[in-house]
Homo-oligomer: A and B are copies of this chain.
Amino acid sequence: MTANTVSTCDLRLDYGTTPVLKGIDIALPAGNTLALLGPSGCGKTTLLRLIAGLLAPSFGQVWIEEELVAGNGIFLPPEKRGLGMVFQDYALWPHLSVAGNVGFPLEMRKIGKAERDRRVIEALRRVELEHLANRSPGALSGGQQQRVAIARAIVAEPRIVLFDEPLSNLDRELRENMVGELASLIRQLGLTAIYVTHDQSEAFTLADQVAIMDHGLIAQLAAPEELIEAPASAKIAEFLRLGTVANMRRTATGWAFGSAQSDHALGPDAPFGHEAQVLISPHSLQACAPEQAVLTGAVKAVQFRDNAYLADIAVTEGADNLVLQIASNSRMRLGERIGLEIVSDCLRWFPAQAGQAP
């Protein structure tokens, strides 16, 4: 079980002269799930297409079950790679019914009619669509189409499944059910999966490893906990919305926000005037009375998030319009002034850097 089911080596792809993937290395052991996270247009779909055999790499190799399938002048066509895939745009065949779409991979595996029908219905039941088996996919809602695409990808129980944002158009309840379904399927069948998503909780729930992609490169590849506990850079921390990244300057005794002189937080030792970035996550902050606090701010916005309110606090100290987020069980009033206390051992420090957005 240590053999890698899917791996790539220095995989590159150019569209014309524009490089889209600039050297991707992944190695996914059998039975593992890799989640791909990354900003829009960073090359996630392209990577999946390369693995599926829908594109040939400009450079580098792809191995599937220790067999070289692309690169070095070799190119194994998609049908020989034995994959399942959920396409980002679904790519349902308009001329086949829902059942026809879902049954196709089984037909290709020469599975008899009776068995096929049974498995099609089973797959449709997993995505809660068995009642629409005879519809044309054009007469389905967006979310229903997406679920047909999922059913089609898993119906033949391929060893490797590529999911390209498979749940993006589903409501949250269904999404959670589907995540559960997929997780149990992956576990039961020992599937290896690559899972592109924009939903971190989905990624962290399903994946054994998470790859953060950025501009055609993998910025960090780690287990979910590790990613949250130890993001490799401020950029990744920001991308994962783990909290606010603030620029700090070393004072004589501690660290101050921006150009402010008074201490705001404790941190690593460094020469006076040294700059660094710090990740301040909502749970490294505690609200307190504004009078006693070293840090104060006004409530700028309040959002409801999952199970608590998240308040954006515009910090008064320092000159760089810093906004921190704090979680709270009760809704704060807009404009309300509050004090903030930083729990210093929850902070993560990064060396200062120029660019911000990942």
Contact = CB atoms under 8 A, between A and B. Distances in A.
B201 A305 contact: yes
A39 B307 contact: no
A124 to B, nearest CB: 14
A40 to B, nearest CB: 3
A165 interface: yes
B327 A308 contact: yes
Contact of A169 (B165, B171, B174, B357): B165
Contacts of A165: 142, 169
B307 A327 contact: yes
Interface string A269-296: 0000000000001110000000000000
Contacts of A175: 198
Interface in A196-240: 198-201, 204-205, 224-225, 228, 238-239
Contact of A45 (B141, B174, B357): B141
Interface residues of A, number: 58
A139 B282 CA distance: 39
A187 interface: no
A279 to B, nearest CB: 12
A41 B281 CA distance: 37
Given A15-B139, A40-B147, A331 B225 contact: yes
Interface of A is mostly: mixed
A29 interface: no
B241 A176 contact: yes
A324 B234 CA distance: 35
Contacts of A40: 141-144, 147, 169-171, 174
Contact of A171 (B37, B204, B283): B37
A253 interface: no
Contact of A306 (B173, B239, B306): B306
A41 B243 CA distance: 35
Interface in A168-188: 168-176
A34 interface: no
Interface of A: 15, 37-41, 44-45, 88-89, 139-144, 147, 164-165, 168-176, 198-201, 204-205, 224-225, 228, 238-239, 241, 243, 281-283, 301, 303-308, 310, 325, 327, 329, 331, 357-358
29 contacts: A15-B139, A38-B171, A39-B171, A39-B174, A40-B144, A40-B147, A41-B144, A45-B141, A45-B142, A142-B165, A169-B198, A172-B200, A172-B241, A173-B238, A173-B241, A173-B357, A175-B198, A176-B241, A201-B306, A204-B304, A205-B301, A205-B304, A228-B304, A241-B306, A282-B307, A283-B307, A283-B329, A306-B310, A308-B327
